[in-house]
Amino acid sequence: MATQIVMDHTGDSRHSFEQDDPKQLAEAERRFKKLIGQGFTAATRTGGGDLHAIRSFDPTADETLFYPRLVGG
């Protein structure tokens, strides 16, 4: 089971999906594209535990973290 973790001003939300279920996989890809379109950055964990930014949906990623654009001012 894979998880998409979305960080925002309210904390985080987690969306789990089965990578071998075409319907759930399509929903996860729609969520990915929507969040990227809203300005979120997506990242996956490497083997060493570091984050690696990604720009396209990776159906093999066990965990994808989405975090909002930093706003300064």
Stated pTM of the model: 0.89
CATH number, domain containing residue 51: 3.10.20
pLDDT (tens digit per residue) in 15-71: 999 999 999 999 999 999 999 999 999 999 877 888 899 999 999 999 999 999 876
In this structure, is residue 72 part of a structural domain? no
The phi, psi pair for 49, rounded to 5°, reads 90, -5
Nearest Cα residue to 1 out of 66, 65, 60: 60
pLDDT beyond 80 at 11: yes
Q: What is the pLDDT of residue 45?
A: 85
Nearest Cα residue to 28 out of 2, 67, 55: 2
In this structure, is residue 61 part of a structural domain? yes
In this structure, is residue 73 part of a structural domain? no
In this structure, is residue 45 part of a structural domain? yes
Cα–Cα dist 16/24, whole Å: 9
Alpha carbon 59 to its chain centroid, in Å, reads 11
| Total number of domains constituting the chain | 1
Q: Can you give the residue range of the structural domain that contains 49?
A: 2-67
Q: What is the pLDDT of residue 25?
A: 97
In this structure, is residue 55 part of a structural domain? yes
